[in-house]
Amino acid sequence: METLWFMIVAAMVAAYVVLDGFDLGAGAIYLGVARTSDDRRRILRAIGPVWDGNEVWLVAAGGTLYFAFPLLYASSFSGFYLPLMMVLWLLMLRGIGIELRAHVENPVWAGFFDLIFCVSSILLAIFFGAALGNVVRGVPLGPDGYFFEPLWTNFRASGTTGILDWYTVLTGVIALVTLVAHGSLYIAVKTEGELNRRTRAVALWAWPLQLVLTIVGLLASGYVQPIALDNYKHHAIGFLIPVIVFGSLGVMIYAIRKGEDKMAFVGSALYIVGMLVGAAFALYPLVLPASTNPAYSLSISNTAAGRHGLTVGFTWWIIALVLALGYFTFLFRMFRGKVRLEGEGY
Amino acid sequence: MDSALLLHRIHFAFTITFHYLFPQLTMGLAPLIVILKTIALRRNDETYHQAARFWAKIFGINFLFGVMTGIPMEFQFGTNWSHFSRFAGGIIGQTLAMEGMFAFFLESAFLGLFLYGEKRLSPRGHWWAAVAVFLGSWMSGYFIIATDAWMQHPVGYVKAADGSLQLSSFWELVLNPWAGWQYAHNMSGAVITGAIVMASVGAFYLLWGKFEAHGKIFVRVGVVAGLIFSVLQLFPTGDGQGRMIALNQPVTLAAMEALFVGQSGAPLIIIGQPNVDERKIDNPVEIPQALSFLTYRAWKANVQGLDSFSPDLWPQSIALLYYSYHIMVGLGTIFIAIMVVAVFLLWRQKLFTARWMLWILLLALPFPYIANTAGWITAELGRQPWLVYGLMRTADGYSKMVSAGNAMFTLLGFLGMYTVLGILFLFLVRREIEHGPAAEVSAQH
């Protein structure tokens, strides 16, 4: 049951990154690719009806994590106190950046919210990547299952670590590049003409960087967290994951060259899922490794909620998921196709 | 009081108080918008359509601020109250996760369709989108109330070997009797906010002499809904909630009423200042025996006073608790009086020309917010010194690893951020109200 919930939470986090990832990426490239006011409105309109729903995956994944692994939630949220609070502030700034721009027709007002939207999107992408880096690298857990990390210490990935060190900065940059490509391809799917051409160019430019960073990132992960290789050694099926990761990178470059934006976007989504599943597979059954003493590591068995709660929860979770998938299929169908500036909203 | 504990309490109290200014209007407006849309569809009346669209715009802005200030609430269970989360997460994680999975997905998916999809959907389809948003927001309310109700009145749990609490009965948790009354009382309070805001904006248009057709609709719907729900707020929901407290938290009831000495035929204090040091009320204005009757339906019934309980079980802020409770009840009573007069004038077809009454409705705007906030302060201060009633003290629940300095840093961050959000919100809503419900003023006149 704990393993099942581990997979569910991992899948929800992956869903969040794939979905909110494209609107975060769209925000990150926003000032760069959209020079005119009309182009900016096109980007906002492409993500406008869906970004809020995408962000709900974060809340739902957080809630599910809380319910299934309360100790993990308690320990990691208090230990990552400062960066999480900053993530909250950035999420708020980004929300007002997207939603309030259109309320007043004034270039100064628009320019202000454009900047907020773009900068907060970039920072969020880096923060999320660094967060994943922290989880893989491990944190200084005490015997009671708690820890507290300052924002940075000496930037070494061992000893008294901070949130930021060379490894987590690297994972932050990987996340940013990945989401820039992901967001560009989404906007390419949703637009035509000049904006479509420019976003494709961004994805094409990001691709070699993404390839190099993926290789460096995987090597660095094996270096800072040697236990990450254990599951791969014992279960050869795990090597399918890097095959998927590099395969989807191949699909991306092939499709971008061919002008098949949708296929490229799917490739990018698959790449993200592959990377996250790879990290989850490497850590399992740990959920937060300790850098202090391996015995203090948090795993699915010492953080999970009671068996009865997990069993009951599975019933309602399945029902809720089926309903949610129904709504979102309907929503994306209603807003499918290229965005136009005429007509309602945004 | 340990300063980290105090800061974590203020952190949560401030962010939740600010947050709840938004959902109470979201939940209160949602059913009223459905009513406007229903009438618009039935009568095929463009003015009602415009009225619904106008409130949808306000709803959209309000909803955005509710979401943005709401995400920090879920996070803070882990960031600031991690010992509580470890202790009780196996249970309240259920209701909080259900809120995300059932309510937020529904709400966010259909809000997009409701706000931006009117031309893509059929009129009936758009009506359904409005209903889905209404259901989503009210479901969300239930899961939060069920969470709070469990902290007020824990049910359906067992103590696990590691000292944490784990779920033993899902249905006991979801159908907690405390949650039933609290939900009814809270949602009725939210509709009062929605109704008074609607009536107030309508009164503003009528006094201004612009958008008068829409203003009349707003005032009519606002005062009728306001009357129905301000009566429901008192009876049966407020009464039921009060007796729930009397039964399960008698020390809280004594502190709310500032009843220092238990007695049979206890009086109901209307006005007066609690003097906790001397354990008496200064300058009391009271109704003899009324508290006994309201609590136990018998004039001579004995009501336990604070003297029946050891002081370490008393809520710590008796004066603030007492005032919050009395402000809530006092305002609730005033709302009933205003709405009775307004509906009477409406029935006699004099309301739209009775400028004095329109002024009263206009100026009533902030008071339902104050009443709802005071109600929540009553509920949460009344639960003290417990975080989970009878099971975990508030002093044991905060994040021991997060120092006072870090808590102060983020508290100041939230104060700054919410000041900016508050200013932006008022600016945007003021603009929408000035713009009015019809696209062109010239087409109106």
Instruction: Dump pLDDT digits (tens) for B119-130.
Output: 888 889 999 999
Contact (CB, 8 A) for B226 and B339: yes
Residue B444 has pLDDT above 60, yes or no: no
Structurally, how many domains does chain A consist of?
Answer: 1
Q: Does B85 touch chain A (CB under 8 A)?
A: yes
Q: Provide the pLDDT for residue B112.
A: 81
Q: Which of A54-63, A190-199, A305-314, A331-340 has the lowest mean pLDDT?
A: A331-340
**CB distance from B110 to chain A under 8 Å?**
yes
Q: Where residue A259 falls among pLDDT bands split at 50, 70, 90?
A: confident
For B41-52, the pLDDT digits (tens) are 999 999 999 999
Contact list in B for residue A63 (CB cut-off 8 A) is 74, 93, 96-101
Residue B441, pLDDT above cutoff 70:
no
Contact A73 B85 (CB under 8 A): yes
* pLDDT at B40 (0 to 100): 94
CA nearest A171: which of A119, A140, A136, A147? Answer: A136
Q: For residue A250, give both structure tokens.
A: 């191949």
Rounded CA separation B167/B172 (Å) = 9
Is the pLDDT at A180 greater than 60, yes or no?
yes
Chain A residues with CB under 8 Å of B89 CB are 66-67, 70-71, 73-74, 305
Q: Is residue A58 part of a domain?
A: yes
pLDDT > 50? residue A160: yes
Tell whether A342 is covered by a domain.
no
Say if the Cβ atoms of A63 and B406 lie within 8 Å.
no
Say how far apart CA A109 and CA A100 lie, in whole Å. 9
- Check if the beta carbon of residue A118 is closer than 8 Å to that of residue A47: no
What gap in Å lies between CA A17 and CA A24, rounded to an integer?
9
Closest CA to A224 of A279, A174, A156, A292: A156
Residue in A with minimal Cα distance to B166: A306
**Chain B residues close to A317, C-beta within 8 Å:** 97, 101
Nearest to A70, CA basis, from B345, B259, B46, B95? B95
**B274: three-class secondary structure by DSSP:** strand
Q: Which residues of B touch A335 (CB under 8 A)?
A: 112, 116-117, 120
Q: Label residue B57 exposed, middle or buried (CB < 10 Å: 0-12, 13-18, 19+).
A: middle
Residue A338 has pLDDT above 80, yes or no: no
Cross-chain residue pair B424–A100, CB shorter than 8 Å:
yes
Listed in sequence order, the residues at least 6 apart from B416 whose beta carbon sits closer than 8 Å to its beta carbon are none
**Count of Cβ atoms closer than 10 Å to residue B401 Cβ:** 19
Q: Which of A66-70, A154-158, A259-263 has the highest mean pLDDT?
A: A66-70
Distance between CA B235 and CA B231 in Å, rounded? Answer: 6
Q: Residue B421: pLDDT above 80?
A: yes
Q: Is the pLDDT of residue B387 over 80?
A: yes
Residue A339 domain-assigned (yes or no): no
Q: What percent of chain B has pLDDT over 90?
A: 88
Residue boundaries of the structural domains of chain B: 3-232+391-440
Residues of A in contact with B144 (CB under 8 A): none
Q: How far apart are CA A61 and CA B405, in angstroms?
A: 29
Query: Looking at residue B439, what is its pLDDT?
Result: 66
Per-residue pLDDT of A29-59, as tens digits, reads 999 888 888 889 899 988 887 888 888 899 9
Percent of chain A with pLDDT over 90: 59
Q: Which of A85, A331, A340 to mutate to test the interface with B (most CBs of B within 10 A)?
A: A85
Residue A1 has a pLDDT of: 87
Query: The domain containing residue A55 runs over which residues?
Result: 2-334
- The per-residue pLDDT for range B283-303, each reduced to its tens digit, is 999 999 999 998 888 999 999
| Count of CA atoms in the C-beta half-sphere (13 A) of B391 | 19
CA dihedral B21, B22, B25, B29 (to 10 degrees): 180
Cα–Cα distance for residue pair B22/A328, rounded to 1 Å:
25
Tell me which chain B residues have a C-beta less than 8 angstroms from the C-beta of A124.
none
The nearest alpha carbon in chain B to A327 belongs to B109
Q: What is the rounded CA–CA span in Å between residue B276 and residue B255?
A: 10
For residues B189 and B371, the answer to whether their CB atoms sit within 8 Å is: yes
Identify whether A340 is part of a domain.
no
User: How sure is the predictor about A342, in pLDDT bands with cuts at 50, 70 and 90?
Assistant: low
Taking contacts as CB-CB distances below 8 angstroms, the residues of chain A near B166 are 305-306, 308-309
Find the mean pLDDT for residues B303-308: 92
How far apart are the C-alpha atoms of B203 and B360, rounded to whole Å? 9
pLDDT tens for residues B16-72? 999 999 999 999 999 999 999 999 999 999 999 999 999 999 999 999 999 999 999
Query: Contact B82/A146, CB-based, under 8 Å?
Result: yes
A74 to B82: CB separation less than 8 angstroms, yes or no = yes
So what's the pLDDT on residue A346? 40
Interface mutation target, options A45, A57, A64, A77, chain B, most CBs of B under 10 Å = A77
At which residue do the structure tokens 């709802």 appear? B372
Confidence band, pLDDT 50/70/90 cuts, at residue B436: very high
